[in-house]
Amino acid sequence: MYRPKVLVIGSGGVGTISALSLSHNFKSEVTLVVRSDYDLIMEKGYSIVSCTYGELIGWKPSHLAPSVNDAMEKFGPFDYILVTTKNVPDGPVTCEEIIAPAISTGKEVIILLQNGIDIEKPMLEKFPGHLILSGVSHIGSTYYHGHVENKGMEIVFLGDFQKPSSNPESRLKIEEFISIYHNPGFNKVQVDEDVQKTRWEKLMYNSVFNTISALVDLDVNSIQINNANDELIRPAMQEIMNIARSVGVECDPTFVEKFIHIGDGLFYSPSMCVDMRKKQLMEVEVILGNPIRIAKEQNVYTPILSVVYSLLKMVQFRLKQDRKMFTINQDDFRGNSDHYPYIFENKYKNIK
């Protein structure tokens, strides 16, 4: 019996649990791309403590690969490409460039199980004619040096971001993928007829708590101790709802209080804050940059989010400098400081 081949790109807390979920019922052949810790995982496998799958020592999927090129050469071609890696379009390489080596037949279904808004458009432009599915994951899962701590049941919403879908195969492929991903009692995976609304509603949390915690280097509850709920969090979430409304999406207003209290007492640091502490590039543009750009196009007033975005871009700038993605030549910036952004854009235009 033929089993669909699935390539999972991104081996952090979300990607590893995705690979585990796909492997659990033996309905698919799973290849997981592991880049930085490939030698470690190849030798010892993952240690996983999961609220649903239990404690696993030395776990591996069907195949491991150090790169997409290697995965394609040894185990491809693939029916599904599940992208769970962080989406950093202003980083050294885009998600479209990362998955490109796995595109060969023209029939691959690309599934974006990532944060952010408008992440599907660049993928569709790069791979026209491909079916691009959009997924939203709710899961508490973190990865560090071969160990995965999964504290929350995985809930995945999967749909076609185009309404109505321009691809007649869309619903069939969504249902097929759910059939190989879903493990009753272990995770919840469901068709989402309005996945963009689900994305906007998740953004109400990510674009506010994720960004502010990364900016001030504090966990969520420590932010709230400092009266942020009334002064920043609630009004910033309202700004996201206003942006969404400007493009025809009505977010559920009850999500404001749900997200404000979802982490009560946990002193939890969101992923963007963790990335900042690790000096890793953050998902600034897809989580906050894209909504701000939409707000400007639609003339939506965003006083809080605009300031947070401007400051967070500076933090990202510092991270890029630390990673030696560029080195500032101070002689380039001797004139009027109002011109500095244009000088940087022109002289350093090849730097992301």
**Residue 274, domain CATH:** 1.10.1040.10
Does 128 map to a domain?
A: yes
Among 162, 193, 224, identify where a domain stops.
Answer: 193
Same domain, residue pair 177 and 34:
yes
Name every residue whose Cβ is closer than 8 Å to that of residue 344 and which is 6 or more positions away in sequence: none
Look-up of token digits 């089993």: 3
Same domain, residue pair 165 and 277:
no
Does 203 map to a domain?
A: yes
Same domain, residue pair 289 and 253:
yes
pTM of the predicted model as reported, rounded to 2 decimal places = 0.93
Same domain, residue pair 215 and 167:
no
**Six token digits for residue 305:** 């989010």
Instruction: Report yes or no: 48 and 56 within 8 Å, Cβ to Cβ.
Output: yes
Picking from 158, 163, 154, the residue whose alpha carbon sits closest to that of residue 109 is: 158
Q: Which residues pair with 48 in a beta bridge?
A: 56, 148
Give the three-state DSSP class for 307. helix
Q: Report the distance separating Cα 319 and Cα 302, nearest Å.
A: 25
Among 143, 166, 193, identify where a domain stops.
Answer: 193
Does 29 map to a domain?
A: yes
Look-up of token digits 């996201």: 240
Does 327 map to a domain?
A: no
Same domain, residue pair 12 and 159:
yes
Picking from 248, 234, 238, 233, the residue whose alpha carbon sits closest to that of residue 196 is: 248
Residue pLDDT tens, the chain, 352 long: 789 999 999 999 999 999 999 999 999 999 999 998 999 999 999 999 999 999 999 999 999 999 999 999 999 999 999 999 999 999 999 999 999 999 999 899 999 999 999 999 999 999 998 999 999 999 888 888 999 999 889 999 999 998 878 788 899 999 999 999 999 999 999 999 999 999 999 999 999 999 999 999 999 999 999 999 999 999 999 999 999 999 999 999 999 999 999 989 989 888 899 899 999 999 999 999 999 999 999 999 999 999 999 999 999 999 999 999 999 999 999 889 999 998 898 888 666 5
Same domain, residue pair 141 and 19:
yes
